[in-house]
Amino acid sequence: AQKVTQAQTEISVVEKEDVTLDCVYETRDTTYYLFWYKQPPSGELVFLIRRNSFDEQNEISGRYSWNFQKSTSSFNFTITASQVVDSAVYFCALSEADGGTSYGKLTFGQGTILTVHP
Amino acid sequence: SQTIHQWPATLVQPVGSPLSLECTVEGTSNPNLYWYRQAAGRGLQLLFYSVGIGQISSEVPQNLSASRPQDRQFILSSKKLLLSDSGFYLCAWSVSGQGVSGANVLTFGAGSRLTVL
């Protein structure tokens, strides 16, 4: 069975600090997809990134970067120079690509509450 | 562009009362649809998903049921609510028919917050 673990329940930083959110996953599949979603106080989940298991290149998007390491089954998310607007709950999720029968179902981690103080 | 709507946004119901949460998607056809629940403001649990009209799969046994009477309409229901049904319910959709469905990006609605008293 799939499992996603976000060991950090809550993180508190001061604006402009860098912060890394950890994500560790378990799956038996060789082909799978990893996601990060952001849940601001409004409650709606916002898609941030999707990576497939064959692409281990790190990705950078503005202040956001992601480090995918298959050897350690980790997909960590770093926010550089954090801002107050980054305050939210961040979820890591896993989807298996089992020949098209997974129907896009996601297994989510428990989420990390990030609070950025001014 | 595609949009997803959920209502009501908030709901306070007594134990034993019925429930109906509705979700509709616009701007796409034959989407995969999902109901997730987030208890106590934390982790999301998949409750139901649907790949077509009248096709519902349940992920966990519970007091809830789901229906898909139309292509882009997904309804979450209960005949008698329990205290444990309180939570934040999120509807989501994804594109169907892709060769590798695990790649599907889920787009979520704004959620419905249910409090059972």
Opening angle at CA B18, ends B16 and B22, nearest 5: 145
| pLDDT tens series, chain B, 117 aa | 889 999 999 999 999 999 999 999 999 988 989 999 998 756 899 999 998 898 998 887 678 999 999 999 999 999 999 999 999 999 999 887 654 456 778 999 999 999 999
Cβ neighbours, 10 Å, residue B78: 20
**Nearest CA distance, A81 vs chain B (angstrom):** 26
pLDDT digits (tens, 9 = 90+) for A73-98: 999 999 999 999 999 999 999 987 66
How far, CA to CA in Å, does A65 sit from each of A24, A117, B14, B102?
16, 21, 45, 22
Instruction: Flag if B49 and A106 touch (Cβ within 8 Å).
Output: no
- From A49, which residue of chain B is nearest by alpha-carbon distance? B105
Beta strands at B55-58 and B32-38: parallel, antiparallel or unpaired: unpaired
| Contact residues, chain A to chain B, C-beta under 8 Å | 31-33, 35, 37, 42-47, 50, 52, 89, 91, 95-98, 100-111
Judge whether residue A37 has pLDDT over 50: yes
Average pLDDT over residues A2-9: 93
Asked if B50 and B57 count as a contact pair (C-beta separation under 8 A), the reply is yes
Instruction: Flag if A95 and B102 touch (Cβ within 8 Å).
Output: yes
**Nearest CA distance, B56 vs chain A (angstrom):** 12
**Nearest CA distance, B15 vs chain A (angstrom):** 24
Which of B44, B88, B105 lies nearest to residue A50, judging by beta carbons? B105
Q: What whole-number percentage of chain A has pLDDT above 70?
A: 94
Asked if B81 and B117 count as a contact pair (C-beta separation under 8 A), the reply is no
Asked if A20 and A76 count as a contact pair (C-beta separation under 8 A), the reply is yes
